[in-house]
């Protein structure tokens, strides 16, 4: 593995959040024409989480982000870059990353959303790692978060059994120790865009009463074709990224694939020849959470003690675009990470309260300033 000293992006924090509401296959079988057995056998999913009415992509991503910053012991005011990978942002604009930046009080951070379907998080991790290696930033908060339940057609059995909500986050920090994010592969084939899309709400079909009546604001998917695409690119991207770092598939200590369908994962793992005990899946409990799937799975694997210093981890993803991505990481942090002292947790919570007050104050000040200026202009006239 990477022997020479070089500036690298290392994972120093991780966090995840899943809403408390569990939607089981049994419940789904009472909503659409399906059965518990069909869902389990064809997808491997047993249940998924659904955001509460007061939860959004930003609120869930914030929880994951705070947990990741806690582990990294990184003061939110020192975060330099926030990327939120999502296809279900709170708004088309402002970006969810900016909402997070404000709520975290990350006043030194640039922030943007990244949309690459279910591959969004691995794309974002690659972008952040490369910016760190280039010396542009010393740290980055990379989040994958989705509220897919809001764009799922709960009357379409072809799609509604697959998706769930949640968020995961990683903190990347620069140092010259061995390991970190070693390489990434990013791929796309836009000719397959029609296979998985949200038809309306963009500039082609802006929202109208017709687009709503025609259920065009929900996920539309050709499941069979997406399956074939996924089964092809998942092993291919994994092999490519491992080759890029001069290693072999046999060297992978932990494979964290996109959690879309158990059969896709099995087919890829079989093609690659990775032993099942080196593959992490939590699909049965969360379903496909799109951009949140890889960081939620990776964070859970780390919490479960599935990684050790020096391990080669490969995360690979595929989805709408069509797009795919894979990244190779050499784990560099001794585990388990010691619990932070209570006073530090209390201090960080205080910082978040302060951030909320500061945000409120800035909004108030902006409004007052605008009114004063209007009054001034009126007097000038
Ligand atoms: N319950 C019962 N029957 C269902 C069903 C459900 N929830 N969903 C589809 N079916 C039916 C289909 O209507 C079809 O019936 P027909 O033969 O009468 O037309 C039959 O099951 C088989 O459909 P098919 O699409 O071949 O099933 P499948 O084994 O490929 O499984 C998916 C369907 C969607 C689970 C599978 O194709 C898949 O996971 N695709 C990839 C999707 C994905 O990962 N998307 C996200 C990418 S990020």
| Residue of the CA atom closest to atom 48 of ligand 1 | 319
| Residue 2 resides in a domain | no
Q: What is the pLDDT of residue 377?
A: 86
223 C-alpha to center of ligand 1: Å?
Answer: 6
| Residue 3 resides in a domain | no
Shortest-distance atom of ligand 1 to CA 28: 7
Query: Residue 369's domain spans which residues?
Result: 339-381
Return the SS3 of 173: strand
- At CA 10, angle to CA 182 and CA 316, rounded to 5? 50
Cα distances from 255 to residues 98, 164, 199, 209, 311, in angstroms, run 31, 21, 33, 45, 11
Q: Are residues 324 and 368 in the same domain?
A: no
Shortest-distance atom of ligand 1 to CA 318: 48
| Residue finishing a domain among 294, 313, 330 | 330
222 C-alpha to center of ligand 1: Å?
Answer: 8
Q: Are 299 and 305 in contact, with CB atoms under 8 Å apart?
A: no
| CATH assignment at residue 322 | 3.40.47.10
336 C-alpha to center of ligand 1: Å?
Answer: 41
Q: Are residues 290 and 353 in the same domain?
A: no
| Residue 140 resides in a domain | yes
Could you tell me the pTM of the whole model?
Answer: 0.94
Backbone angles phi, psi at 271, to 5 degrees: -60, -35
| Residue 207 resides in a domain | yes
Q: Are residues 258 and 366 in the same domain?
A: no
* Distance (Å, whole) CA 381 – CA 376: 9
Q: Are residues 85 and 148 in the same domain?
A: yes
Tokens at residue 113, please? 């959303």
> Digits of tens for pLDDT over the chain (381 positions)?
545 568 999 999 999 999 999 999 999 999 999 999 999 999 999 999 999 999 999 999 999 999 999 999 999 999 999 999 999 999 999 999 999 999 999 999 999 999 999 999 999 999 999 999 999 999 999 999 999 999 999 999 999 999 999 999 999 999 998 999 999 999 999 999 999 999 999 999 999 999 999 999 999 999 999 999 999 999 999 999 999 999 999 999 999 999 999 999 999 999 999 999 999 999 999 999 999 999 999 999 999 999 999 999 999 999 999 999 999 999 999 898 888 888 988 998 999 999 999 999 999 999 999 999 999 887 766
| Residue of the CA atom closest to atom 14 of ligand 1 | 158
| Residue 154 resides in a domain | yes
Q: Are residues 321 and 283 in the same domain?
A: yes
Shortest-distance atom of ligand 1 to CA 260: 44
Strand 110-114 vs strand 81-85: parallel, antiparallel, or unpaired?
A: parallel
Let me know if 346 is exposed, middle or buried by CB neighbors in 10 A (0-12, 13-18, 19+): exposed
Q: What is the pLDDT of residue 345?
A: 87
362 C-alpha to center of ligand 1: Å?
Answer: 50
| Residue 199 resides in a domain | yes
161 C-alpha to center of ligand 1: Å?
Answer: 10
| Residue 348 resides in a domain | yes
User: Residue holding tokens 């120093």?
Assistant: 12
* Distance (Å, whole) CA 120 – CA 318: 9
Domains identified in the chain, total number: 2
* Distance (Å, whole) CA 295 – CA 128: 14
What are the catalytic residues?
118, 258, 288
Q: What is the pLDDT of residue 378?
A: 79
Shortest-distance atom of ligand 1 to CA 34: 1
Q: Are residues 179 and 297 in the same domain?
A: yes
Q: Are residues 104 and 146 in the same domain?
A: yes
Q: Are residues 306 and 348 in the same domain?
A: no
Q: Are residues 297 and 237 in the same domain?
A: yes
* Distance (Å, whole) CA 211 – CA 205: 7
Q: What is the pLDDT of residue 380?
A: 67
Q: What is the pLDDT of residue 4?
A: 58
Ligand 1 pocket, CB under 6 A: 34, 38-39, 42-43, 118, 157-158, 161, 196, 221, 223-224, 226-227, 230, 260-261, 288, 319
Q: Are residues 256 and 372 in the same domain?
A: no
| Residue 291 resides in a domain | yes
Q: Are residues 159 and 29 in the same domain?
A: yes
100 C-alpha to center of ligand 1: Å?
Answer: 36
| Residue of the CA atom closest to atom 8 of ligand 1 | 158
| Residue of the CA atom closest to atom 34 of ligand 1 | 223
| Residue finishing a domain among 330, 350, 365 | 330
Candidate from 122, 224, 293 with most ligand 1 atoms within 8 A of CB, to mutate:
224
Q: Are residues 273 and 354 in the same domain?
A: no
């Amino acid at each position: 593995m990477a022997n020479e000293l070089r500036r690298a992006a290392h994972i120093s924090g991780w966090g995840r959040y899943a809403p408390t509401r569990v939607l089981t296959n049994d419940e789904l079988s009472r909503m659409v024409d399906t059965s518990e057995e069909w869902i389990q056998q064809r997808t491997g999913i047993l249940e998924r989480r659904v955001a509460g009415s007061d939860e959004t992509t930003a609120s869930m991503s914030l929880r994951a982000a705070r947990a990741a910053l806690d582990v990294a012991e990184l003061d939110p005011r020192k975060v330099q870059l926030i990327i939120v990978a999502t296809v279900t942002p709170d708004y088309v604009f402002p970006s969810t990353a900016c909402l997070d930046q404000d709520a975290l009080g990350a006043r030194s951070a640039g922030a943007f959303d990244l949309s690459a379907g279910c591959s969004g998080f691995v794309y974002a991790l690659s972008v952040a790692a490369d910016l760190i290696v280039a010396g542009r930033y010393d740290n980055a908060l990379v989040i994958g978060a989705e509220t897919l339940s809001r764009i799922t057609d709960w009357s379409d059995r072809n799609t509604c059994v697959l998706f769930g909500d949640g968020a995961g986050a990683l903190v990347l920090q620069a140092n010259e120790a061995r390991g970190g994010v070693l390489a990434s592969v990013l791929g796309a084939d836009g000719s397959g865009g029609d296979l998985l899309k949200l038809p309306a709400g963009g500039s082609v079909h802006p929202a109208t009463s017709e687009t709503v009546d025609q259920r065009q604001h929900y996920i539309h998917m050709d499941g069979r074709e997406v399956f074939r695409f996924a089964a092809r690119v998942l092993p291919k991207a994994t092999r490519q990224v491992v080759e890029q770092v001069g290693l072999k598939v046999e060297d992978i200590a932990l494979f964290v694939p996109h959690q879309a369908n158990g059969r896709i994962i099995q087919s890829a793992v079989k093609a690659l020849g990775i032993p099942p005990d080196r593959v992490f899946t939590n699909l049965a409990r969360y379903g496909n959470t799109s951009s949140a799937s890889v960081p939620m799975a990776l964070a859970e694997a780390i919490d479960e003690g599935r990684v050790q210093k020096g391990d080669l981890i490969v995360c690979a993803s595929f989805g709408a675009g069509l797009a795919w991505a894979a990244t190779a990481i050499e784990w560099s942090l001794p585990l388990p990470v010691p619990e932070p002292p209570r006073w530090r947790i209390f201090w960080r919570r205080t910082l978040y309260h302060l951030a909320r007050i500061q945000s409120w104050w800035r909004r108030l000040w902006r409004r007052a300033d605008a009114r004063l200026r209007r009054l001034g202009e009126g007097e000038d006239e």
